Chains A and B, each alone.
Chain A
Amino acid sequence: QQQVKQSPQSLIVQKGGISIINCAYENTAFDYFPWYQQFPGKGPALLIAIRPDVSEKKEGRFTISFNKSAKQFSLHIMDSQPGDSATYFCAASIQGAQKLVFGQGTRLTINP
């Protein structure tokens, strides 16, 4: 119930392509879904987040798509660049709770 399942574990995309990472959850009490980006040797950092009252949120080349009925959400990186190569984590939390539940992470590599 508290898990967030993330796929794929690793992803290789050509420069300029679209990177797509998917997450699924079971707990319908989750109401906040952030994505974190982690570069080697650094801590994760918030990239973009969405609430379930909207189906999509876009910030620059990064878009979250949210499907409430399917209990799934995904991160799309348009025009992927080598600088986007990092590990990406989806997460979820319940309003009022301080704790985030993280997915297993996806190691993204963008080939030049």
Chain B
Amino acid sequence: DAGVIQSPRHEVTEMGQEVTLRCKPISGHNSLFWYRQTMMRGLELLIYFNNNVPIDDSGMPEDRFSAKMPNASFSTLKIQPSEPRDSAVYFCASSFERAFPPPREYFGPGTRLTVL
């Protein structure tokens, strides 16, 4: 059973470049989450989708960040232009909405982004 798939696993880019991170959620899951993890700030929720619709994007740092979910099996997180402070590990997670038991988030392996 394939878990959450993220690509690329590692990305090194220069400041000012556009970066696109990709995620394929677990088949049948209808919620998708993008997180950012840094030593200083821990695990931060950036945005989450339910049934392909963005529900809460209050964690998106600024307008340089955007996320899309064109269908149930694909999502992107784009940073344009990228800055060194965007360097972090970005995780995608998915879950299946159920009233009970509570939803369980399955995390992907993450994309380690380095902006020089």
Contacts and interface: CB of A to CB of B under 8 A. Distances in A.
A35 to B, nearest CB: 12
A99 B56 contact: yes
A45 B95 contact: no
A102 interface: yes
Contacts of B42: 89, 102-105
B102 A49 contact: yes
Interface of B: 4, 31, 33, 42-43, 45, 48, 50, 55-56, 91, 93, 95, 97, 99, 102-110
* Interface SS, B side: strand
Given A32-B102, A43-B93, A49-B102, A99 B45 contact: yes
Contacts of A96: 99
Interface string A7-46: 0000000000000000000000000101010000111111
A45 B106 CA distance: 7
Contacts of A101: 45
